[in-house]
């Protein structure tokens, strides 16, 4: 199944879960309030994410004389994208990310560590991957998913709050099963997190494929992913969990059962997919 189709199905599933939560926990009014709160929160994140994240990691903008700028400029022309702003993060751990609400307001950032660890072809593969995120408007997709997911979690929280204080919806249907409501309150947020993580993983596969196309080869990115993961274990990045999903390789480890909530596919799966393209 293609990544775009898979993302569409997952977003539809997340939307369906929101409707189901609204039906079981009830009250169109309560769901509307939860959805509006989620939109306000995530709209701010979507609109100002570039400034917030870049400041969080003390990223420094570089100009035309910097080798990273020149590399991104070549790749942007090849991808037929507007030239993004280019930043360097003063950190020895190798990693990179893209941000910005659309291709006209995009930024790409790479750590000092990644430029020391990777060859030019490998670094080109990484930055092409980030430009593919920009081209695919993945920030918008993740913001939509986050808005729906947050609405589900808000609604479940409101239902727990109402139940705790003995409240309830005024339009309860006769014979509504309290066990079904309890199950929805407990399980809906978990299901929303699982779907959001699956959407993020599908976008990583899509960005890998797009990055290989922009760079002109899958080998550089495949080799880079292997090197970054190995080096990041030796020199971990002190990443904020709220932004960890943005990086090309997950800076936070997710082992065992928690791996199902990971926003990144296993690196070996990504390399295998790239080699399949090659």
**Reduced to 3 states, what is the DSSP secondary structure of residue 200?**
helix
Residues (pLDDT < 70) of the chain are: 1-4, 23-31, 34, 38, 41-42, 44-46, 162-177, 180, 253-259, 278
Radius of gyration from C-alpha coordinates of the chain: 21
CA angle 105, 129, 5 (to 5 degrees): 90
* Active-site residue set: 130
pLDDT tens figures, 12-48: 887 777 777 776 666 666 667 767 776 776 676 667 7
Cα angle for residues 9, 128, 104 (degrees, 5° grid): 75
| pLDDT at residue 89, as a whole number | 97
Separation CA 130–CA 136 (nearest Å): 10
pLDDT, tens only, 195-221: 888 999 999 999 999 999 999 999 999
Scan for tokens 């072809």, then name that residue.
Answer: 121
From residue 277, alpha-carbon distances to 58, 94, 101, 132 in Å are 36, 25, 29, 16
The share of the chain scoring above pLDDT 70, in percent, equals: 82
Residue-by-residue DSSP string for 243-257:
TGGGBSS-SS---GG
Identify the structural domains of the chain with CATH numbers, from first to last.
3-7+49-142+178-277 (3.30.2010.10)
What is the sign, positive or negative, of the torsion defined by CA atoms of 4, 244, 110, 142? positive
The strand order across the sheet containing 107-111 reads: 60-61, 85-89, 107-111, 96-99
CB atoms within 10 A of CB 43: 12
Grouping H, G, I as helix, E, B as strand and the rest as coil, residue 108 is strand
Residue 31: per-residue pLDDT: 63
């Amino acid at each position: 199944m293609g990544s775009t189709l898979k993302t569409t199905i997952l977003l539809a599933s997340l939307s369906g879960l929101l409707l189901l939560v609204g039906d079981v926990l009830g009250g169109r009014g309560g769901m509307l309030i939860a959805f509006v709160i989620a939109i306000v929160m995530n709209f701010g994140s979507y609109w100002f994410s570039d400034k917030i994240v870049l400041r969080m990691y003390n990223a420094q903008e570089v100009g035309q004389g910097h080798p990273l700028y020149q590399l991104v400029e070549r790749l942007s022309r090849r991808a037929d994208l507007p030239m993004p702003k280019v930043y360097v993060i003063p950190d020895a751990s190798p990693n990179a990310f893209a941000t910005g609400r659309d291709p006209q307001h995009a930024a790409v950032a790479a750590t000092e560590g990644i430029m020391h660890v990777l060859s030019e072809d490998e670094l080109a593969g990484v930055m092409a991957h980030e430009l593919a995120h920009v081209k695919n408007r993945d920030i918008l997709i993740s913001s939509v998913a986050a808005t729906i997911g947050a609405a589900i979690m808000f609604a479940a929280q409101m239902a727990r709050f109402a139940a705790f204080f003995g409240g309830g919806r005024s339009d309860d249907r006769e014979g509504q099963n309290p066990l079904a409501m309890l199950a929805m309150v407990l399980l809906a947020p978990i299901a929303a997190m699982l779907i959001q993580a699956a959407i993020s993983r599908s976008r990583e596969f899509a960005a890998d494929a797009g990055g290989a196309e922009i760079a002109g080869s899958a080998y550089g990115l495949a080799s880079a992913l292997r090197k970054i993961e190995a080096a990041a274990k030796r020199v971990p990045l002190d990443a904020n969990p709220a932004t960890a999903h943005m990086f090309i390789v997950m800076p936070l480890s997710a082992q065992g059962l928690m791996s199902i909530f990971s926003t990144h596919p296993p690196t070996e799966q990504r390399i295998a997919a790239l080699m399949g393209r090659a």
